[in-house]
Structure 1
Amino acid sequence: MERFTISLSDELAVEFDQWISARGYSNRSEAVRDLLRKEIETKRLIEDEAIYSIATLSYVYNHHERNLSERLTSHQHEAHDLVVSSMHVHLDHDDCLETLFLRGLTQRIRSFADKLSAETGVRHSALNLVPVKLAAVQHQHSHHGQTHTHFHPHS
């Protein structure tokens, strides 16, 4: 592990310590590491350097909207290789919240999210992308030596 020292004004150090405390960090180092990871991941996403990602897509929709539930389900089936899981919550008599857990090519995830979010009746959609590296591995799972893919965070 590499170490480095930074200097902060007294005012910035106090504000940083308050920020750290409010978020439950045990020390400054872990807080700085998380801030750096976030900035680096954001840069990868902005500059299209993140080839693969894991993601959540959350959206609210009115289940009375004509055929909307069926259209959303159809989109999910068309992207079965991206959609790992879904969670559906009834908010009230009309509205539902769905969260999809996704993994795959970042551009495909973005396109899929745009397609679902553009459906008439879908509101408040939010995509959260986390860039990852892919690694093909072979090891034992339940006595079967099969090669499969792991999705690893970059840092």
Structure 2
Amino acid sequence: MQRLTISLDDKLADALDQMIRAQGYGNRSEALRDILRRHVEQSRVREDAESLHCVANLSYVYGHHARTLAERVMTLQHAHHDLTIASQHVHLDHDHCLESLMLKGPVQQVRAFAERLSAERGVRHGQLNLIPVAASHTEHAHPHLHPTS
């Protein structure tokens, strides 16, 4: 383990301390380690997306009465069945639904699928939460996925 010393202006240090209290971190070091891990992983995903695998959650809200939307979304999901682990559907009100898809696979394919689905007419508030993982192949037909850090 290495010890690093950083200097922060008072405003930034206060903001960090507020985040620590709000999120329940035990100390500044734990919070900063999480922030750095997140930043390193995001950079790695941007730079090395071709070779990385991920697990992800795509959540989106859509209008229940949008013409043919449910059929278009279902067709798109079936066309990418190899990326989909599970889905959950929630009725928010009479007119709106929330769908949450659990996905896994190559980062580029997952991201492309999420962007395509989120761009469907009638889909609103699409949000992808992508977590990079290491894929190791075994004698099984599918890869095993492990967190990278």
Into which bin does the TM-score normalised by the smaller protein fall? Answer: 0.7 to 0.9
2:145 counterpart (136, 148, 151): 151
Residue 20 of structure 2 is matched in structure 1 by: 20
Residue 125 of structure 2 is matched in structure 1 by: 124
Measured in 2, the distance between the counterparts of 1:131 and 1:18 equals 28
Say yes or no: does 1:35 pair with 2:35.
Answer: yes
Residue 112 of structure 2 is matched in structure 1 by: 111
Shift in Å, 1:15? 3.6
Q: Aligned pair count?
A: 147
**Runs of at least 4 residues off by over 3 Å:** 12-15
C-alpha change, 1:10 and 1:115, in structure 2 (3 Å) is closer
- Give the TM-score taking structure 1 as reference length: 0.84
Percent identity over the alignment is 51
Residue 78 of structure 2 is matched in structure 1 by: 77
Shifted more, 96-105 versus 128-137: the winner is 128-137
Shift in Å, 1:29? 2.4
RMSD: 2.0
Per residue, is there more strand in 1 or in 2?
1
C-alpha change, 1:108 and 1:14, in structure 2 (3 Å) is same
Measured in 2, the distance between the counterparts of 1:46 and 1:132 equals 14
Q: Per-residue CA shift, 1:75-116, capped at 9, x if unaligned?
A: 111111111111111011111010111010111011111111
Say yes or no: does 1:57 pair with 2:58.
Answer: yes
C-alpha change, 1:97 and 1:5, in structure 2 (3 Å) is same
Shift in Å, 1:9? 4.3
Q: Per-residue CA shift, 1:111-140, capped at 9, x if unaligned?
A: 1111111211111111111111112357xx
- Give the TM-score taking structure 2 as reference length: 0.87
Say yes or no: does 1:102 pair with 2:103.
Answer: yes
- Consecutive unaligned residues in structure 1, runs of 5 or more: 139-145
SS of the residue corresponding to residue 93 of structure 2 reads: coil
C-alpha change, 1:68 and 1:147, in structure 2 (3 Å) is closer
Measured in 2, the distance between the counterparts of 1:10 and 1:22 equals 20
C-alpha change, 1:38 and 1:90, in structure 2 (3 Å) is same
SS of the residue corresponding to residue 92 of structure 1 reads: coil
